[in-house]
Structure 1
């Protein structure tokens, strides 16, 4: 079964949080842009070829085996795109070198010392977001896919038998529900890290939080350690309740496991343990396969250091807690990968005796364990580096059971990707089958009341009630492609049941009012169903409930657009999201809708008409609408009769643009747009553009270079670029010219490092003078980055059209700066990975704007009247701030 031709790749890049340091993925993990172009009438967003024609590629491979480019013009390769987008997100923050641990923690402390402006932030997206909004049901949205209400990625879940549920998000902290899910409250806002790696409730009812998302995607940040909440029904996390010292700062934490009076932590820096009774004192390093690569070691500065001590999970024998098995290894393979246990006082790799569970390093990658409550069964999911690097269909080695209850086995395979695909999965086509992203998607849970009743999460949710003899796809990827679905509701052959969002990460089982529920966390938020729920004839669950009721806002925005709502007054707010398309909130809406699917990149909205919208998918795949993409009732799949149009610049077809590529409108003329890939492009038809052929090439940045930021005012254009963009020879530069194609040239940046050799992330042009411009610079200064030319500073100013620059960072914390905007009062607001800062007119020092949690703000824009500042956060939705309150 192939996925329908009019659906785009919904689920791609994997997300973010702000914390103590950034996860870095080596050049190894990147993928070439999967093909794009106009071969299909549905443009580069279509989903069909993703399933049908995924070429033989290596997914997230080692540095010795870079990912190959998919050859299909229309579908592309979602698994490769995830790795590519993740790699590029990391490049911006790490190049030209390796960032030392503790960089984000130091920046957070510096930010706390800044003087605050007046005023406060207001969240405008704290209401339900309906991915199935019927107003936008067409082939450019995911409406009717079945995921319902969504929010940002949930990395971990926990629950108890008193109806309390805890959801740990990738970038927006930990949330609590007292009602079995829903009616959420944030409980970790006071911590310096809002990135969740693991959540666990111990036998005494305490809630343990391991910070630092561990899905090895590069727009996830490292954490600040492990915290305990003694009374989770009522309290909130405090930095004072951190377990141990600073040993686990700047790590990711994949799992927390308990046994023998200890809590064990599987981290990106090996396996550690700590007493569960005495929370003070140091963590003990139990095992690191390559200790020389740990901080302080002789090879700590090696570019591969972050990948040399990754631990994925820990299995503790319930009969003898001294018997422990460690699952260790980088997802794409390394000679240290494998299962380890202690023998003769030393940790040694298990080389035989595991049964079907592989012992060789090539077949042990990302692993998740789960133990039955009665101790009679152990289960495991194993992602195989060999499969990942060679098999175009899936990276899943399999699902296994140890019927002895011991983690040493013997283990028996009870599922593989072909069997799961045959169980009415939505992923049953060559090139995209269950486990294709097993390095990123995994969870496993056993029903406490039945050792043979198991839930497994990959891209979808699977259930077995007989210990793995048979499986059901209870949470299919989506409803597209099943007989119950048609784009025209009148032609559906049945009613599709709600499903979960795809890409599963966290799971928990708890009780509410006497009923046991399974809670799952994925790229669309949190969902639940009764543990013993109902299924239809295909084995799909009929009883999923979305818990994303709007009281929890962990949406991960890349961009924001604001325009007047001509139909209802006020403004319309749109934004591009990680894995949740494009949101649209009109002034009379009580529920946000999703009018475009896929990942949402940059956004352009006509200030004079909020229904004129340009939405970028990835790699400059731009779509435009002039009616908010509202379906006209025709249910057509004919793009010539559509309410939106594919208008991608040519660099999209040649894969010469970044995953999230820059797109901007001229500040003085909203009909002139600038886009950047290898080339700088312009088009002058505004929102009336109907074809990619209407773009005009302005300037060729050069082979191997690609634009990182563009801006224009009154016809003057600024473009920043990098190439190479990773830390292997990183280079950057600025080109300037005019929108009519004249006057283009590269600026000669001085060799004295006035502008650092780091990723140039954004321009802010003075609306009164196009030659007066500010530049934001990502990454960390040389105090944290060991790389040539890392320099210092994050905000620079030019008064001569970019010819010369001056560092105006002053007391700005040393933290990646993502964008900036000149406010109506002449001040300058800058977005950073830890919030927003502001420099008042005529001042040199910066202030902290409001009191956001430690969340990244990727873009700032102002309202059409200039009175309101809008912040697109990558983990806590969109916020507004009154400009008058800045001074």
Structure 2
């Protein structure tokens, strides 16, 4: 008898096959649902126009090099030239063809009607997209040579740990900012609501279980090790002093009183930028960790396995081979699997050809006991499973000639054999392999299961090394899953249970990827190289011990059909989906408006589901639920535990996954975080789109889907915000992220994750770049596209192209045509402030697959409008040029920071490692200027740089921020800060900023209006804030005080009145005791004094004393009403934060005064190292009455407390000097 719960879907499937399917699917014009009458798409859907901008962005990246163009032609496409924009009828036809290839649901529809259609917003990521994501992290860390010695990361960690500098200004309190999980289904954010997802967090790669204490453990890909004491309801951080949060596997052994084990390094075959630091063990549940001996750093980490009969024996599956420990993980030995000439090789420095030959993706140790078990205790099976298999490198060598199954009766080094098995995938097809074993008390422990990814199918897409070129196409065919296999003798022989083709072509499976997905190219198993797992339920078996329920993960979660019938899982079986890719309103990648989704096995379910892309699953006992077992799964959205307690029949289905089990996790992966004055944060998240943290409740919301990267928010109005999807596809929102409008500039040679920046002095001023440097001064009113700034007029509403970065061999040459040997220059980092902008770039940025010395030669560069032939002006081409940047090593420029006080002073951080870690034997490079150092400073607008890295560790630096005179630097191994004079020191000392997680740092931003709060994007550990103990005033950091972000220009235009104070006081009057004094010296050239000149000061032992209160007032000046600027030069040397100069204006004849800014501390050092003259400018509004200017100086009683009332003689502070004041219209 058919179970009642199965009857409805069986009937539906009969109807489906009988004609409903043809009506829905074969009429392709219905694959794209029509927008509602109001023109809005249903939740979880996007307009075709929005989808087309993604297609355009991909088309632009495909035309970056001749090589990519050739690949496109092989796929039957035509590649454009230049910027990749569509030109006339031919270009539009190309767009239509490409759109129908990327979005086949549009086939059969009229392109003229596309503006009325909607398509699903969330689609499975292609191989190309996933590898571009990996390259985004890899390029900054591995350029210019594409690789570094595998020991470099461990050395950087040790350097960082050894920094014990004590700097009071670096002391502060670090705090996690957001609260709770990432909410995906809030109705205020319809772009992501409607997919059936509830609460998300970061990707989980591994689980383990402590049966005695009933504890769960999880390894979060970039978030470290976590523990749950309540079966997964809540999670607590178990990272302790673990020096990295990049973890691939976790295990528990009760040996030696209980050891928690961690294997570091990402297991997803992403970029080798995030390889591991080896293995670690903890004897106190993760409070304290110690590094294990014998397992090398620099490898990806895949799995840990404990011998259930001898729990001190542990196996670690890594990129460098299989390792064994006999002391509960305290030390390891390479077992040296017989993989051929590379057997046992762990030094990629000496043998780079072996980098992929020993990739062990899983390991299992047989469980003793059970029913009918013949395999002897301690028997070990390991899988060598490099995803590319026997693909050949450029030199003709096979990357991994001996992927496959290896077995040993005792696991000791030298005892493993490669099995020549029957019934398994063919040798050339074996790619990634994941194992699952029977372990229940009533099961036959000889049973072993294997998920196999097909290397041949993957290689048809042109995939080479770990780091895949950005132009790599997706594999031919739409699945790379070879099949699921079962062995009844622990790996000696195998039987195929199902194949990728069978799963993809089964309309009764209930997969969201069937039908439409198959046509589009998203079949089940399309990501098997990236995520797959299999595990039998340990509580169910036949009388002979054969497991009867099996669960496995690909993009979705699958299980055997009708498991309650007790059919043995020992041969070909029918499998169905128990956690579909889409829930909510989504159906077969469509929104059909039907009461139930055709193909859904349970049309009456709640339509909740798990996040897609399943990484691991674990069955564990729980006597309090029906069946006595629980299943927890980990995927790219965190942890999900099946709700057996609320499921009457105890069978896996789509209806009982709930919202997810993310409580306690803080494992999101932000690239950049930015905060408004009201505390609202926006950030781009890998895997989880655009993040919004409510400034009041701290709740976290996903507001925009897909992969998010950079974000910006108006400091004074958090409803105005911007997000960046892939390839610089920027969108703007004016209602806090509820609705978005595309303002994509349409860049050539943009990065997959492309930085953009908001001017801290004008929130409507944004800048980004690909090959073209573009700006807008219109904020959210900006329209998509770009217009040459020189041809723009007052009606122009697109981005303004202000400069062309040219090509690698012809930097700054707008007329240069790119080629495979002379690629377009592409921006890597940007900053803008007022009229000043800097754009870092590289030609041939991606060096991850270098094949020869002269191939893919990296070159960085810097362009700016500071110090050019004419003064720079925002939104114009004035002053733009490429600077020499002498003294700057040739590595990837990861961030740029303009000094808030002097725009010709700029700081940059560099990625990669220094020349010490160049990999011997790896492909060399014609350019040897790798250099040393990670933080550099220029005081001449980028013409020359000097290394100010001080004691920073030799680790990729990712961000630099200026906090008055203090430098804040983010790296892959922590955050560091100087004292308050760091910007003035040739070799500043850095101290660690304590309390922050050991995660790579994406960005550091000062909170507008409060420079005592820094906001950190911690990749893998959410958004954090850092509150400095040593306070500074907001006005001491220009651009962070009241009104910063959206004020008028501070550039002085037509001058109404200027005072140089040469000859006499020129009508200015001073009051107070002591008072401002008119005397020499005045300001000379640049920052230097002029001994014969004159100005005003409060300085020296008779001037700068305790409790000063003095003002200096100008004559009245007639001015035109409107935006105006006060400009002056000042030499400042006072106690920071306490003894201040205030710049004030009166527009009503002196009856009231408006403070425009307050300043204290020290000016930039002159040539002799003492504070020199600096130019200041502040905006104000002139009215109908004459304007007066006033400078007020006050000091407190600190100097008296130090032992005397004379500040300058007690402390060495000189005071304040003033000269060359002017007022006029703002430019």
TM bracket, shorter-chain basis? 0.7 to 0.9
Which residue of 517, 526, 536 maps to 2:639?
Answer: 526
Aligned-partner Cα distance in 1 for 2:989–2:377 = 56
- Per-residue CA distance 1:693-740 (angstroms, 9 max, x = gap): 511222222232211011111222211112212333122111122441
Change in CA separation of 1:49 and 1:199 when aligned onto 2, cut-off 3 Å: farther
Structure 2 residue aligned with 1:392: 477
Q: How high is the TM-score relative to the length of structure 2?
A: 0.62
Matching residue of 1:424: 510
Q: How does 1:333-372 map to 2 (within 5 A)?
A: 333-334=389-390, 335=398, 336-341=401-406, 349-351=418-420, 353-355=421-423, 357-361=424-428, 363-372=429-438
Does residue 52 of structure 1 match 2:104?
yes
How far 1:280 moved relative to its partner?
4.6
Q: Report the counterpart of residue 133 of structure 1 in structure 2.
A: 186
How far residue 369 of structure 1 moved from its aligned partner, in angstroms, is 0.6
- Residue 102 of structure 1 is matched in structure 2 by 151
1:735 partnered with 2:863 = yes
Other-structure match for 1:857: 1001
Q: Output the aligned Cα RMSD.
A: 3.6
CA distance in 2, matches of 1:731, 1:679: 17
Note the 1:102-251 alignment, pairs <5 A: 102-114=151-163, 115=165, 117-137=170-190, 141-161=191-211, 162-202=213-253, 206-218=259-271, 221-230=274-283, 235-240=285-290, 242-243=291-292, 245-251=293-299
The Cα of 1:388 is off from its aligned counterpart by 1.5
Deviation at 1:488, TM superposition (A): 9.3
Greater displacement, 506-515 / 520-529: 506-515
CA–CA distance in structure 2, aligned partners of residues 877 and 47 of structure 1 = 35
Q: Which residue of 2 aligns with 1:699?
A: 803
Deviations 1:548-575 (A, max 9, x none): 44421011100112124xxxxx321111
After superposition, give the CA deviation of every residue in 1:655-689 in whole Å (9 maximum; x if it has no partner). Answer: x2111111012232221211111221112211222
Secondary structure of the 2:676 match is strand
Change beyond 3 A, Cα 1:179–1:316: closer
Q: Does 1:792 align with 2:857?
A: no
- Paired residues, what number? 812
Q: Give SS of 2:172's match.
A: coil
More helix by share: 2
Deviation for aligned residue 1:75: 8.3
Q: 1:389, 1:296 → 2: CA distance?
A: 26
2:586 is matched with which residue: 481, 485, 490? 481
Contact 1:3–1:51 (Cα < 8 Å) also in 2: no
Which of residues 694, 697, 707 is equivalent to 1:589? 697
1:440 aligns with 2:493: no
Q: What secondary structure is seen at the aligned counterpart in 1 of 2:915?
A: coil
- Which residue, out of 828, 831, 835, partners 1:711? 831
Q: CA deviation at 1:531?
A: 6.2
Contact 2:839–2:863 (CA<8 Å) still a contact in 1?
yes
Task: Look up the match of 1:771.
Answer: 904
Unaligned runs of 5+ residues in structure 1 are 11-26, 56-72, 565-569, 631-642
Match for residue 637 of structure 1?
none
Mark the CA change 1:229 to 1:697 in structure 2 (over 3 Å): closer, same or farther.
same
The answer to whether the 8 Å contact 2:938/2:945 transfers is yes
1:589-641: CA deviation from partner (whole Å, max 9, x where unpaired): 353211111111111111111111110011101111000132xxxxxxxxxxx
Of residues 880, 884, 891, the one that matches 1:744 is 880
Deviation at 1:847, TM superposition (A): 1.2
Cα deviation, 1:73-123, whole Å, max 9, x if unaligned, reads 998963311111212321210112221122222222222232353211011
TM-score normalised according to structure 1 size: 0.84
* Alpha-carbon distance, 1:513 to partner: 5.4
Say if 2:968 is the partner of 1:878.
Answer: no
- In the alignment, the residues of structure 1 paired with residue 615 and residue 229 of structure 2 have an alpha-carbon distance, to the nearest angstrom, of 22
Cα distance in 2, alignment partners of residues 76 and 434 from structure 1: 10
1:487–1:572 distance in 2 versus 1, CA, 3 Å: farther
Counterpart in 2 of 1:635?
A: none
Bigger relative CO (Cα 8 Å, ≥ 6 apart): 1
What is the CA-CA distance between 1:268 and the residue it aligns to?
0.5
Matches within 5 A, 1:617-766: 617-630=725-738, 643-651=739-747, 656-693=749-786, 694-701=798-805, 702=807, 703=818, 704=823, 705-727=825-847, 728=850, 729-737=857-865, 738=872, 739=874, 740-750=876-886, 754-766=887-899
Instruction: Indicate how the Cα distance of structure 1 residues 177 and 814 shifts in structure 2: closer, same or farther if over 3 A, else same.
Output: same
Unaligned runs of 5+ in 2: 1-24, 26-30, 35-40, 52-66, 108-120, 368-374, 391-397, 461-475, 541-546, 598-602, 787-797, 808-817, 851-856, 866-871, 983-987, 1033-1227
Rounded to whole Å, the distance in 2 between the matches of 1:529 and 1:37 is 48
Provide the rounded CA distance (Å) in 1 between the counterparts of 2:670 and 2:580. 25
Secondary structure of 1:91's counterpart equals: helix
Q: Distance in 2 between matches of 1:789 and 1:456?
A: 49
CA distance in 2, matches of 1:83, 1:526: 24
Q: Secondary structure at the match of 1:174?
A: strand
Distance 2:349 2:679 in 1: 56
Q: Find the residue that maps to 1:732 and give its secondary structure.
A: strand
The whole-number CA distance in structure 1 between the counterparts of 2:587 and 2:723 is 28
Return 840-849 or 319-328, whichever deviates more.
319-328
User: Within 2, Cα distance between the matches of 1:588 and 1:512?
Assistant: 39
Cα separation, 2, equivalents of 1:129 and 1:74: 17
Aligned equivalent of 2:624? 514
The answer to whether the 8 Å contact 1:254/1:312 transfers is yes
Q: Which residue of 2 aligns with 1:92?
A: 140
Summarize the Cα distance change of 1:142–1:217 in structure 2 as closer, same or farther, 3 Å threshold. same
1:402-417 maps to which residues of 2 (within 5 A)?
402=487, 404-417=488-501
Q: Give the CA deviation at 1:250.
A: 2.4
Change (3 A) 1:189 1:534: same
Q: Distance in 2 between matches of 1:248 and 1:859?
A: 30
Moved more, 594-603 or 538-547: 538-547
* Equivalent pair of 2:478/2:526 in contact (CA under 8 Å): yes
In structure 2, C-alpha distance between the alignment counterparts of 1:556 and 1:417, rounded to whole Å: 34
Q: 1:294–1:282: structure 2 CA closer, same or farther, 3 Å change rule?
A: closer
Deviation at 1:523, TM superposition (A): 0.9
Cα 1:605–1:337 shift into 2, 3 Å? farther
TM-fit CA distance, 1:394: 1.1
**How far is 1:283 from its partner?**
4.9
Q: Deviations over 1:802-857 (max 9, x none)?
A: 1111110010111111111111x331111111221112232311111122232111
Match of 1:83?
Answer: 131
Check whether the contact 1:290–1:308 (CA below 8 A) recurs between aligned residues.
no
Shift of 1:4: 6.7
SS at match of 1:120: strand
1:210-234 CA-to-partner distances (Å, cap 9, x unmatched) read 2222111117622233334456xxx
Shift of 1:347: 5.2
Deviation string for 1:369-392 (max 9, x for gaps)? 101113142111001111113333
SS in structure 2 of the partner of residue 88 of structure 1: helix
* 3-state DSSP of counterpart to 2:188: helix
Aligned partner of 1:460 among 551, 556, 567: 556
Contact 2:641 2:661 in 1 (8 A): no
